[in-house]
Amino acid sequence: MAKILDGKAVSAHVREQVKAEVEALAKQGVPVGLAVIIVGDDPASRTYVNNKKKACAAAGIRSEEYALPAETTQEELLALVETLNKKPAVNGILCQLPLPAHLDEKAVIAAIAPEKDVDAFHAVNVGHIMIGDYAFLPCTPAGIMEMLRYYDIDIAGKNCVVIGRSNIVGKPMAMLLLQQNGTVTICHSKTRDLAAHTRNADILVAAVGIPHFVTADMVKAGAVVIDVGMDRDENGKLCGDVDFAGVEPKASYITPVPGGVGPMTIATLLKNTVTAAKQQNGLL
């Protein structure tokens, strides 16, 4: 029977730390502000943005929402980003992805000032992550690392397998595990005999976006299983990339969906925004 890695509990701990830091900064005359851009009316994006705004309010971070119509042009969006880059009251800028198909996500990410890129997607910040000299980390991988630390799960010397190679989760996740002395394998859609790799994992991170993709026969007994998936099963119920019912009896630790990795992502966004405010005010 696996121990549950409770993202709600860990994120509450992180949020309390963030709130205390925000209060301390306010006493020094340094308010913390986050600008959130949303383009169009994607329901999932709207839910994410609302959750981020609520989390900011609870932590004492001022949030500004810029809700743009779906027909917004690339030029209009880039002009807004440039305005926010120059706005001193905005410490962090987050552009909710995905954007409508006619907009160039790469160009928008590249336009955000690296020191305000609290998602850590800008090439400058990605480069800093590669060499282990960073201010910000992508929110989901950093949240996972925070959870592993909270539960005293040692990474050094462990076989770590990441399923997925996205720029948002898979690649940075692998780098963070490597920096903590894990022996890391990245698997993806072209990997041959995927299960042979996953069965060797002491720590297994699933980030593929396919419901119940990881089954019990793919998991080593006693493995730590991290489920990044936010999927819907055949009944429309929220689920992860891992077959929780099958894998949980076999694992030593496992994250549930919901209530695992998701809350950590938002907690790390708050943490990154505070770091940005400190940096911009010469406090780091």
Catalytic residues: 52, 96, 119
In this structure, are residues 210 and 229 in contact, taking their beta carbons and an 8 Å threshold? yes
Is the CB of residue 45 less than 8 Å from the CB of residue 38?
yes
What is the token pair recorded at 280? 């911009």
- Terminal Cα-to-Cα distance of the chain (whole angstroms): 43
Single-letter amino acid code for the residue at 186: I
User: How far is Cα 202 from Cα 199, in angstroms, rounded to an integer?
Assistant: 8
Whole-angstrom Cα distance, residue 213 to residue 211?
5
Residue position matching structure tokens 């890391």: 184
Give the pairing of strands 92-95 and 33-39: parallel
Whole-number Å distance between alpha carbons of 155 and 235: 36
